[in-house]
Amino acid sequence: EIEQKALFIIFGGTGDLAKRKLYPSLFQLYKKGILKDNFAIIGTARRPWSDEHLQEVVKEAIEGDEAAVSLGAEFASHFYYQSHNVNDTEHYVTLRKLAEKLDEKYQIEGNRLFYLAMSPRFFGTIAQHLKSQKIVTTKGYNRVIVEKPFGRDFESAKDLNDSISKYFPEEDFFRIDHYLGKEMIQNIMALRFSNNLFRAVWNNRYIDNIQITLSEALGVEERAGYYETAGALRDMVQNHILQIISLLTMNMPASYSESDIRREKIYALKSLKKYSAVKVAENFVRAQYSAGDGQIGYLQENEIANDSTTETFVAGKLFVNNENFSGVPIYIRTGKRLTKKTTRIDISFKEMETSFFDSKKLGRNILTINVEPEGKVFLQTNIKKIGQGFDLVPSLMELQLNNENVVVPEAYEKLLLDALLGDATNFAHWEEVAYAWKFVDSIRKAWDDGNGNLAEYPCGSMGPRESEELLERDGHQWVFDG
């Protein structure tokens, strides 16, 4: 990769995301020479830090990396700190001067990336000031990267979007969904569109059902305030799960290009089947974790009202009514305090109609994309059992190994590089976000109107009984049982 010239301005530079994800990912780009001499990073936040203090924080953030011993100090020297209250116009003047100074010092040629890693309620104010105080340049590019959550329903997402797109056109507007930066999620397109074998069977004639599981072992932790305003449906389904569904079910794009891929993803999301309120109650399960496995229940957590009805788990049965997938149930589930942290997709193929074998002995073919923790793809097949007679046994084919010698880049590293290159393929386009919210809003509204009970599940389980029943009704079961 060639060296990139860029000035990053990170709003929320003292925050958890900056320390855990952004600084280490920027260091990876530095190690690879993508960021080399002509770059600088301004961290801004309310706290009165000095450049030196930020540089110490950056060094701490990367200290687990061996290369930091030799490269860390030089890398950190490109970081500057600007104490800043996002509501104070004066502070943007100071910021502009610092940006101009660094642009000159590092010969950056006017390329700017504004990373908004703080509460979305400030996004509009920041975007407005970036423009009015001329922090956006006329020489290079100006790109704005925003973190989730992107709204809490369609209306608020639209307001948020309008407040930024007034100042930044869609092509300069990068909405993070970090799942799209994960290697195994990017592999969905590789598997589907580079293998004739899979391409041929990737449709409702051969696929019986799809199962998507995003489970977390942790509870609500420090994020109670936010989580109470969101819940699992908004926090995980609207973005990550619906993005995964669009990649799994979209038609083959005309080319590997941002606009063609985007068009098909939008079309898939537009094709999500909407349910009436009564059908929502039948096809979606919501639940809260209760005490178990040595852990307290959601209602006993700090800062959670003891009559909170926020769901920490959701399971559902969805349909994408496009040509290839209509009629294929897509079962999803996500939740906190489940057995373990896992992200996986199980694609279960139809049973074979044959009299060649006693069909009862045939296991289904199941393609599993294990995104986390393994980062592998498995195909369940049937083979002959060794020995006399002709018994069949299931066998697991491993389609892709994580080569131990190759370090899989973190999602944030890949996404930051994409943003530097101006490639928004792996970011969420406004129309995708909009269709996803409209779908989620229809579920949410049915619940708010009293359809569907709030179930319970003990910590350390794979969710409530109702989640199993959702599949059992159709004669299925979750492939992944924890």
Of residues 120 and 151, the one with the C-beta less far from ligand NAD: 120
Whichever of 83 and 324 has its CB closer to ligand NAD, that residue is: 83
Query: Distance between CA atoms of 392 and 360, rounded to whole angstroms?
Result: 11
178 is in an annotated binding site: yes
Comparing CB distances to ligand NAD, the nearer of 114 and 319 is 114
Which residues would be at the binding site for ligand NAD (CB under 6 A)? 12-18, 45-47, 84-86, 117-120, 147-149
Q: Is 43 annotated as a binding residue?
A: no
> Residue 340 corresponds to which tokens in the numbers above?
């373990």
Determine whether 129 is an active site residue.
no
Choosing from 91, 129, 240, 429, which is the catalytic residue? 240
**DSSP secondary structure code for residue 24 in this structure:** H
- 15 in a known ligand binding site: yes
Bridge partners (DSSP) listed for residue 7: 40, 112
Q: Which residue is nearest to ligand NAD (CB)?
A: 15
Has 18 been labeled as part of a binding site? yes
Q: What angle do CA 254, 435, 432 make, to 5 degrees?
A: 45
- What is the Cα–Cα distance from 146 to 278, expressed in whole angstroms? 36
| Token duo for residue 388 | 């006399």
Residue 160 beta carbon to ligand NAD: minimum distance, rounded to whole angstroms? 11
Compute the chain's Rg from CA coordinates.
24
Angle of helix 430-448 versus helix 242-249 axis, rounded to 10: 120
Continuous segment of H or E residues that includes residue 400: strand 392-400
Instruction: Between 98 and 191, name the residue whose CB sits nearer to ligand NAD.
Output: 98
Q: Is 91 or 262 the residue whose CB approaches ligand NAD more closely?
A: 91
Q: What is the DSSP string of 358-376?
A: -GGGPPPPEEEEEEETT-E
Q: Contact, 216 vs 333, CB < 8 A?
A: no
What DSSP line would sit under 317-340, residue for residue?
Answer: EE-B-STTTTT--EEEEEESSBSS
Confirm whether residue 13 is marked as ligand binding. yes
Q: Is residue 208 marked as binding?
A: no
Closest approach, Cβ 334 to ligand NAD, in A, equals 15
* Known binding-site residue numbers for substrate: 178, 182, 216, 235, 336, 341
What amino acid positions are annotated as catalytic residues? Answer: 240
* Known binding-site residue numbers: 12-19, 46, 148, 178, 182, 216, 235, 336, 341
* Known binding-site residue numbers for NADP(+): 12-19, 46, 148
